Amino acid sequence: MSSSRTTDPQPSQSAPDTLVSTVPVKGTQGSVIRPYGDMTGDGMVQVSFTLPVPHDKRAEGAALQLAAKMGMAPALLVHAKAIGPEHTFFVVYGSVTHLVEVDKVVVIERDFPLLSAKEVNQAIRKSLRRPLVVVGACIGTDAHTVGIDAILNIKGFAGEKGLEYYSEIRVVNLGAQVLVPELVERAREEQADAVLVSQVVTQRDAHIHNTTAMSAAFREAYPSGKVPLLIAGGPRFEEGSAGALGVDRIFGKGTTPAEVASYLVHAVGQRHGTRSSEEQQ
């Protein structure tokens, strides 16, 4: 499914949101499902995309042509809106024949226990005997601090307090548009145990380039084995891409402060040869 929005127009209410039916398809083996739209197993999906053409009848025909090539048949154009003079945003609703084999879906599970604030503080005192220092920033030209602030600021996110709330974590939030050399220098000054970077801007894979550049800079500036934990977060990072990007952990959309704090305890404990009380049980 393609979805490349350059604006946020409101789609038509003509088509319902697409859900997934969990009823196995007749004549198949194992856990095989099809999308659910109007009724079970009808294969209906809704996709949105933008084409670089002015909004007219030809543009709408181009959108339906693309939908057909994506395997949607029949396809219904339920929304079209001009985005300036040269682009048009579309929402298309239609049926696909593709099946989903749920048993073959690979999911990266959390490999550390989720701890309470009290357990996090206790584990840090035990493993470090001092506060754990976290330096955070939005690097490059990224000015969107909502993600890093949700994790670091005491007000937190989704009803959870941010890392500033933890008595054994010292947070240094550098804010937005921080250059990588500045981040490295500040991390060294603060003797950071972990560095968190947030990347919301993803045009032309900016989040990938910025993260790999950040990783390379830290590994050049620090002796082998002394690099702080490098953590990147943002809505467009792929799960399991930490190794390719040169960081220790990737966190995606919906990540809460408790998850990040629990991971820090887990990773720092591994580096110092200790484990949280829950991991020892």
Convert the pLDDT of each residue in 41-95 to its tens digit: 899 999 999 999 999 999 999 999 999 999 999 999 999 999 999 999 999 999 9
Same domain, 92 and 132: no
Same domain, 182 and 256: yes
> Model-level pTM greater than 0.85?
no
pLDDT of 1: 42
| Position 259 in a domain | yes
| Position 12 in a domain | no
Task: Report which of residues 11 and 57 the model is more confident about.
Answer: 57
> Once rounded to an integer, what is the mean pLDDT over residues 205-214?
88
d(C-alpha 161, C-alpha 170), whole Å: 14
Dihedral over Cα of 241, 247, 248, 251: its sign: negative
Same domain, 97 and 29: yes
Task: Report which of residues 188 and 41 the model is more confident about.
Answer: 188
> Once rounded to an integer, what is the mean pLDDT over residues 116-140?
95
Q: Which helix (H) or strand (E) holds 69?
A: helix 57-69
Alpha carbons within 13 angstroms on the beta-carbon side of residue 147 total 25
**Segment 95-108, tens digit of pLDDT:** 998 899 998 888 87
Residue numbers of the domain that contains 276:
117-280
> Once rounded to an integer, what is the mean pLDDT over residues 232-256?
88
Same domain, 96 and 123: no
Q: How many domains does the chain have?
A: 2
Burial class (CB in 10 A: 0-12, 13-18, 19+), 67: buried
Task: Report which of residues 146 and 24 the model is more confident about.
Answer: 146
d(C-alpha 18, C-alpha 37), whole Å: 5
Same domain, 193 and 214: yes
> Once rounded to an integer, what is the mean pLDDT over residues 253-278?
83
| Position 13 in a domain | no
Task: Report which of residues 81 and 201 the model is more confident about.
Answer: 81
Residue 21, pLDDT > 80, answer no
Catalytic residue set: 155
pLDDT of 59: 98
Burial class (CB in 10 A: 0-12, 13-18, 19+), 20: exposed
| Position 11 in a domain | no
Q: Which of 79, 104, 129 is the last residue of a domain?
A: 104
